[in-house]
A and B are shown apart, each in its own frame.
Chain A
């Protein structure tokens, strides 16, 4: 056996051993993956499942067969497609508890209630538009709609639907007139301004804020989201990413200093990766995700209305999203990791759900980017429920999480387990600063998963609030939270000094007295020091 073979063998063995230790096998689990989490050393450790798969919704469950049924109000034609096809976006209207699906491959928008029963299908918008006009119906048809956003207008109190109509090179703002018809309100097309230098305008994602400014992610525009005012005028770009500093970029910057103009023009330009998706929370902050493989710069940003990343500070720079280690994630294909964060959604509790396209995992964080749980997968056995092939979008309604798959053409519904519910209750209280109220829930969490780091930090903060410092120190040490330990230690030390003040003073005084006595004795010649003897 050659040495290389031997090394290979040892490596394989070590890898298997580490895999075995990382991923425990739970024989009764429903999910086609092993739940895990990250510990304080940023290494994967097994965890309890916080979510379980409760249903998968396909075209059949949606009731798309009604599209072929002449007696149904949703009847389209006898050969209408009754499955989803390459669906790119899913949106949940939390107030109305309705879902909107961008059925991209079939060029239509579907609207369902919270149980995913069809309540509307839209192939185009009526109104004053010349783009992709259908002579038969008089509608301006959609062409690969890729993004969706629904919001009730604060001006007119009507339900507005924003659609990123990709191949038609426009963003449509339409209002819902009847259950089955959309009427065009405003059309946002390619800005005819010098500032917009791209030749194409293919919007893929869209959101709108309270003032009905429309933000859209446009394919191959890396200067940020394209922003339109309510009246349809182009107002600029919003929240561009920064260039990731790599060795290559630094080398190029140096070369540029000495190269001639012609040479510089021939060089590859250092441009930032564009962000691919975003979401807006109830307070109006916009969260962006960048899909570029393994990018560390601006992978997830939280932007204020001026487009400034408010996580661009010491605390924010330590936030980590997606998988941290390059763990081997598919034991069959032995594929290595290349995280691609494709979608983000902020639920009404302020929790962030980030979807990794490459691994099919949903990472749930609280509002301070503490990891709550990880679920979903994309193994080679993509046929199983809960494992994805092309996870395109993630959505939430209440505690539930929904993931739409553009290849399996279905929607997977994740509901919380008892463990997940306890974690959510505890985290909500924790984020509000109600550390003491969260204690019973943290206890429940720890009963189910003794390796849940956040539980120990929560318990520690509760103890700190109740001035039980030694207990707090213990919890923080277990969680390996050095920062909070330091805070607790400051109080613990103060407490200790106050309690033992007299004893400490007495010891110091006695020591000083002993020294003085010794000096006197030496001086009088009673103690003789033999240290130095002159020769």
Chain B
């Protein structure tokens, strides 16, 4: 067994997809502050991808820049993933704690974030005829992160491979459910707010009489 610095552990996890996360669990390592930083970088990567991709490649609607959808696509999705996974796997003999799922999932995202940055840099020096390189980098990041995520979830919950896959698919379903309920809740509270506001104005009218 090895002993690493905090960043060293992160490197170990990324470059050793097979046993990296198991080691991390065994040694009870993994830093919550590093994980939060990674999520922050995920958000930054999204913004960079939206705004700084080379002009010839950028198909986004850059006339107006709205940060909210990007925030939702990165931070909110990530938190929903963690909450959903935790909620699901606690019920199905998963050993992962909330903190552990958060840290492991974040660690698994690093290749995707790095490859997004690389793709953005490449898109500024390549012409569209050479787009295959950028696509390759993007798929590399996505695939790598996916493999890491599977391994991370497996190590976190001590599941078999198939059980990990099934739990991940159902986590996505749970995510949709959570988001649906959240939207519902928000609109309900909005109505409640309107109702209270109406009572307030009504009372105001009466008092003024």
Contacts and interface: CB of A to CB of B under 8 A. Distances in A.
Interface string B114-146: 000000000001011100000000000000000
Contacts of B125: 493
Interface in A477-522: 477, 482-483, 485-486, 489-490, 493
B56 A6 contact: no
Interface in A89-109: none
B198 to A, nearest CB: 7
B3 to A, nearest CB: 6
Nearest to B58: A482
B61 A493 contact: no
Contacts of A257: none
A155 interface: no
Contacts of B56: 482-483, 485-486, 489
Nearest to B56: A486
A486 B131 CA distance: 12
A533 interface: yes
A1 B198 contact: yes
A41 B55 contact: no
B191 interface: yes
Contacts of A482: 55-56, 58
Given A3-B191, A6-B194, A482-B55, A489 B127 contact: yes
Contacts of B55: 477, 482, 485, 489
A531 interface: yes
Interface of A: prevailing SS:
helix
B1 interface: yes
Given A3-B191, A3-B194, A535-B1, A486 B127 contact: yes
Contacts of B198: 1
B194 A486 contact: no
Bin the interface of chain B by size: 10 to 19
A248 interface: no
A523 interface: no
A534 interface: yes
Chain A interface bracket (under 10, 10 to 19, 20 to 34, 35 or more)? 10 to 19
Nearest to A533: B3
A486 B127 CA distance: 6
Nearest to A532: B2
Contacts of A483: 56
Contact of B8 (A6, A489, A490, A531): A531
Contacts of A486: 56, 127-128
Interface string A1-23: 10100100000000000000000
B3 A490 contact: no
A44 to B, nearest CB: 13
A483 B127 CA distance: 10
B28 interface: no
Interface string B166-209: 00000000000000000000000011001000100000000000
Interface string B55-72: 110100101000000000
B127 A493 contact: yes
B61 A41 contact: yes
Contacts of B127: 486, 489-490, 493
Nearest to B59: A482
A532 B55 CA distance: 43
A244 to B, nearest CB: 26
Contacts of A490: 127, 129
Contact of A41 (B1, B4, B58, B63): B63
A485 B127 CA distance: 9
B8 to A, nearest CB: 6
A191 B8 CA distance: 87
A483 B128 CA distance: 9
A41 B63 CA distance: 8
A57 B129 CA distance: 55
Contacts of B190: 3
Most chain A C-beta atoms within 10 Å of own C-beta, residue among B55, B63, B194: B55
A322 B125 CA distance: 37
Interface string B1-32: 11110001000000000000000000000000
Nearest to A477: B55
B29 to A, nearest CB: 14
Contacts of A489: 55-56, 127
A486 B128 CA distance: 7
Contacts of B58: 482
B3 A535 contact: yes
Interface string A33-75: 0000000010000000000000000000000000000000000
A38 to B, nearest CB: 13
Interface of A: 1, 3, 6, 41, 477, 482-483, 485-486, 489-490, 493, 531-535
29 contacts: A1-B198, A3-B190, A3-B191, A3-B194, A6-B194, A41-B61, A41-B63, A477-B55, A482-B55, A482-B56, A482-B58, A483-B56, A485-B55, A486-B56, A486-B127, A489-B55, A489-B56, A489-B127, A490-B127, A493-B125, A493-B127, A531-B4, A531-B8, A532-B2, A533-B2, A533-B3, A534-B2, A535-B1, A535-B2
A-B pairs with lowest CB-CB distance, top 8: A486-B56, A490-B127, A486-B128, A482-B56, A485-B56, A486-B127, A485-B55, A3-B194
Given A3-B190, A3-B191, A533-B3, 15 more contacts: A41-B61, A477-B55, A482-B55, A482-B58, A485-B55, A486-B127, A489-B55, A489-B56, A489-B127, A493-B125, A531-B8, A532-B4, A534-B2, A535-B1, A535-B3
